Structure 1
């Protein structure tokens, strides 16, 4: 439906558009995950140019109400995913329990020399070769976290191929004989997303991320994983 903006009353057009769309999100007319009309359609609806619409959408993105997916459109942000951290923390199980489809996407993998914090976490000598997996976790196609997981070698040689095929750390571990693994420690901090992180998580510049450093062991207590991940702060609610 076309909408009439108030003209000549000191109300900026883009702000009126942003307020109108925010009201539709608040009332449920636009539900979480819903795709917004295109810029051209919104420009026709509000009888403005596309630049004005783009400014309104940018304001909503900055406030975490919508997200833009390149080539797909603009979507209403889903409700935050409740993310419990305990002895057994599994992204796929957490997302599935919330009724969302989980997927771990391997972005790149290579062998690196363990820097001091990685070496300490994995109980290795600094400079020991380890496997580094750069990945992103998604729920219903929405990026939730991105980071790097370090695994000791040679125990987990070939782990990257299995992870790429299955999209699941748990299944990749099982193929390496690790049927269960436990969280030894978790450290949480917060900061503004760096440009590369914002791009990976489809965040507007200036949005916050939660930085989680974790260490996992196998059932016998041997350290098998050290991870540093950035979570989109307004897409999760951590429960520790």
Structure 2
């Protein structure tokens, strides 16, 4: 990325007399994003660099970046800087929604990182989702899903431990949940229920998903069943907006 010199930057924002300085900077950065000077996902210059380029104070630059963030064109990651927003990924909720297939459909490479994997006692919410008694043993998997190395989902998955005695070990070594379930005897499964809500992220969620604290997350509660209709998984997934939008398919 090439940063124009200060005189060129100052000339650009002088071209709109009568318009607030911060808004003139917004127009310049918008134009540069549109023409590909700053491509999707690229890190923008720092406030200090923009300030020097345009010959304005950092408060003016900060106001411009805040406006670009509100419009969804730029995302600000605390401690990392400002980035051009990527294209929105449509997450299609269908009977056989699979994470890897979803990401590859957008010509991106899927990957994941296990954050937590252990056996615990089911609380009332998990027990209701799995159709088991409160306190029964369940396998809990928390996983960060990524597209081209960018986090796009944070999922907490629960499986009935009594039904799948070998699943914990399978989840430790399998690349995907689908592969782990296949090793445990579930050749296929489908989505039975999806509930969608939204809320602001908790601090750890914002950090893991690299999303601002003031941007809501899309939350899905999912129940997956096998070919006989028996529940195999209850999960809660969080998706950062506007990086992901949920689409329901018949």
Aligned residues: 236
1:30 is the counterpart of 2:41: no
Determine helix, strand or coil for the equivalent of 1:221. Answer: coil
1:114 is the counterpart of 2:122: yes
8 Å contact kept, 2:77–2:212: no
Shift of the alpha carbon at 1:85? 0.8
Q: Provide closer, same or farther for how the CA distance between residues 113 and 15 of structure 1 changes in structure 2, counting only shifts above 3 A.
A: farther
Determine helix, strand or coil for the equivalent of 1:132. Answer: strand
Determine helix, strand or coil for the equivalent of 1:158. Answer: helix
Match of 1:162 among 158, 166, 173: 173
In the TM superposition, what whole-angstrom CA distance separates every residue of 1:81-129 from its partner, at most 9, and x where no partner exists? 1211111001110110110111222112232221112111111101112
Shift of the alpha carbon at 1:40? 4.4
Structure 1: give runs of 5+ residues left out of the alignment: none
Higher deviation after alignment, 203-212 or 92-101: 203-212
8 Å contact kept, 1:67–1:202: no
CA distance in 1, matches of 2:169, 2:20: 57
1:75 is the counterpart of 2:83: yes
Match of 1:184 in 2: 192
1:99 is the counterpart of 2:107: yes
CA distance in 2, matches of 1:132, 1:112: 7
CA distance in 1, matches of 2:116, 2:42: 31
Shift of the alpha carbon at 1:50? 5.1
Q: Provide closer, same or farther for how the CA distance between residues 108 and 12 of structure 1 changes in structure 2, counting only shifts above 3 A.
A: farther
CA distance in 1, matches of 2:80, 2:134: 44
Q: Provide closer, same or farther for how the CA distance between residues 172 and 191 of structure 1 changes in structure 2, counting only shifts above 3 A.
A: same
8 Å contact kept, 2:118–2:168: no
CA distance in 2, matches of 1:70, 1:11: 29
1:207 is the counterpart of 2:215: yes
Q: Which protein shows a greater Rg?
A: 2
8 Å contact kept, 1:108–1:134: yes
Match of 2:132 in 1: 124
- The residue correspondences of 1:2-81 to structure 2 (distance < 5 A) are 2=5, 3-4=9-10, 5-6=13-14, 13-48=21-56, 52-68=60-76, 74-81=82-89
8 Å contact kept, 1:62–1:205: no
Higher deviation after alignment, 17-26 or 111-120: 17-26
Higher deviation after alignment, 63-72 or 197-206: 63-72
Determine helix, strand or coil for the equivalent of 1:171. Answer: helix
TM-score (norm 1): 0.84
Structure 2: give runs of 5+ residues left out of the alignment: none
Higher deviation after alignment, 115-124 or 30-39: 30-39
CA distance in 2, matches of 1:203, 1:71: 11
RMSD: 2.6
Shift of the alpha carbon at 1:190? 2.0
